[in-house]
Amino acid sequence: MSPPLALLRDVQVRYGERTALAVEHLAVERGEILALLGPNGAGKSTLLRVLTLLEAPTAGEVIFEGTSITAAERASWRRRLCCCFQEPLLLDTTALANAALPLRLRGVPRYQAEARALRWLERLGVASVAARRAATLSGGEAQRVSLARALALDPALLGLDEPFAALDPESRESLQEDFLALQRERGMAVVLVTHDRAEALRLGDRVAVLLEGRVAQVGPPAEVFTRPVSKAVARLVGADTILEGTVLGAAEGLLILEVAGQRVEAVGTLRAGERALVVLRPEDVTLLPAAEMGRVSSARNNLPGRVVRLAPAGPLIRVHLDCGTPVTALVTRPSAAALGLAEGTAVIATFKASAAHCLPRLAPRP
């Protein structure tokens, strides 16, 4: 098997006494979008700078196509990579000259560089602003020019540090779509830094969760989002409900647990008697009127409880429940109205066993 395009091995970045990054192993495969998800200060941007050779790690190896990059090779390899940041960071000249800049820096004659840059401005839908000065562009236009500038280079690996974060929702979505189509077409490897889990889910072929400078979990988004390996990852990827329970046994490939006095079935590989955390995404929790308790399907988990608080979440409503343990559900406004949800309303929180994922609960420190 051919080696991955890029690989970090035992990489550490220390600033004085502080270790900002400690990554034992992280690979970037050809043609994939690897989303680096993590809270602020988790070391995402540092990781991106190390991976795109903008910063040398304090220790460890950065390996491209199986070759460990030495100090002497950094500059030449760096010229095969490119990075875009949250700000478009255009120079005070025309959009076209900006997009052509990286090619000009590599000695491509102006005419050729501008022709190629113009094609990329066209692909990103901003050819009409080619002659305008950067300062007169809107945020969305400027970010498109910035992406065209990077794509015109056809880099082996493109690093993106929250390039969509500062855009309004509409420009963000349309730029994400255009970018994804171009990336698929070019088959270019992309490392996308984001703190937005929706963006990681939407764009990432794989998601790497970074917590306190360490890679806590890497995998396809569906896996990371539904089967987080730790409570911290679960919180980050948005599985808001974390139930504590004890494994009673296993049946038909599912674990049977006792949670807050109720029987709960969930997915996992724990042994009977082990203490467990059951991770649930709020969109997987459905609410039913309390009166239906006798008629609910036993194929699902059913936890009776009361509404503690209702919080609007965009078009949806986040419902915080007390089912002997806190549970969060996301419901549409019409269904909240139909259920007559208010503080104190009795409801049943119901969810499929396959939506509930068990993690071992580490024993509390003595």
Partner 1 sequence: MDLIWQGIREALRLVLTGDPEVWEITLLTLQVSGAALLVALLLGLPAAALLAFGRFPGQRLLASTVNAGMGLPPVVVGLLVTILLWRSGPLGFLEILYTPSAMILAQTIIALPIVTGLAMAALQALNPRLRLQLLALGASPVQSVALLLYEARGALLATVMAAGGRLLAEVGAVLMVGGNIRHLTRVLTTATVLETSMGKFETAIALGIILLALSFALNAGLTAVQQRGRRP
**Is 39 exposed, middle or buried (CB count within 10 Å of its CB: 0-12, 13-18, 19+)?**
middle
Least distance between partner 1 and beta carbon 91 (Å): 6
Q: Which stretch binds partner 1 (CB under 8 A): 98-106, 214-222, 239-247, 287-295?
A: 98-106
Order of strands, sheet of 346-352, starting from the edge strand that comes earlier in the sequence: 286-289, 346-352, 300-313, 316-322, 326-332
Which positions from 149 to 168 touch partner 1 by CB under 8 A, shown as an x/- string?
xx--x-----x---------
Q: Is 91 in the site for partner 1 (CB under 8 A)?
A: yes
Q: Is 323 in the site for partner 1 (CB under 8 A)?
A: no
Of 25, 106, 110, 306, the one binding partner 1 (CB under 8 A) is 106
DSSP for residue 270:
P
DSSP for residue 275:
E
- 190 Cβ contact partners less than 8 Å away, ≥ 6 residues apart: 32, 33, 34, 157, 158, 159, 160, 183
Least distance between partner 1 and beta carbon 202 (Å): 24
Size of the site for partner 1 (CB under 8 A): 25
Q: Which stretch binds partner 1 (CB under 8 A): 15-23, 147-155, 183-191, 356-364?
A: 147-155
Q: Is 54 in the site for partner 1 (CB under 8 A)?
A: yes
Of 41, 67, 89, 291, the one binding partner 1 (CB under 8 A) is 89
Residue with tokens 């082990």: 274
- Residues belonging to the chain: 366
Q: Measured from the CB atom, is 62 or 239 closer to partner 1?
A: 62
Q: Is 299 in the site for partner 1 (CB under 8 A)?
A: no
Q: Is 148 in the site for partner 1 (CB under 8 A)?
A: no
C-alpha distances in Å from residue 32, one per residue of 50, 69, 154, 187, 207:
18, 21, 15, 7, 11
Of 227, 221, 222, 206, the residue nearest 360 (C-alpha):
227
36, 28 in Cβ contact below 8 A? Answer: no
Of 1, 40, 92, 111, the one binding partner 1 (CB under 8 A) is 92
Q: Is 78 in the site for partner 1 (CB under 8 A)?
A: yes
Q: Is 116 in the site for partner 1 (CB under 8 A)?
A: no
Rounded Cα–Cα distance for residues 355 and 243 (Å)? 13
Of 105, 181, 291, 337, the one binding partner 1 (CB under 8 A) is 105
The two tokens of residue 203 are: 């764009």
Which positions from 236 to 275 touch partner 1 by CB under 8 A, shown as an x/- string?
----------------------------------------
200, 194 in Cβ contact below 8 A? Answer: yes
Rounded Cα–Cα distance for residues 50 and 43 (Å)? 11
Least distance between partner 1 and beta carbon 149 (Å): 7
- 244 Cβ contact partners less than 8 Å away, ≥ 6 residues apart: 259, 275, 276, 277, 278, 325, 361
Q: Which stretch binds partner 1 (CB under 8 A): 86-94, 188-196, 206-214, 251-259?
A: 86-94
Of 300, 296, 294, the residue nearest 354 (C-alpha):
300
The two tokens of residue 338 are: 């139909």
Least distance between partner 1 and beta carbon 41 (Å): 17
Q: Measured from the CB atom, is 92 or 252 closer to partner 1?
A: 92
Of 52, 183, 286, 301, the one binding partner 1 (CB under 8 A) is 52
Q: Is 71 in the site for partner 1 (CB under 8 A)?
A: no
Least distance between partner 1 and beta carbon 36 (Å): 16
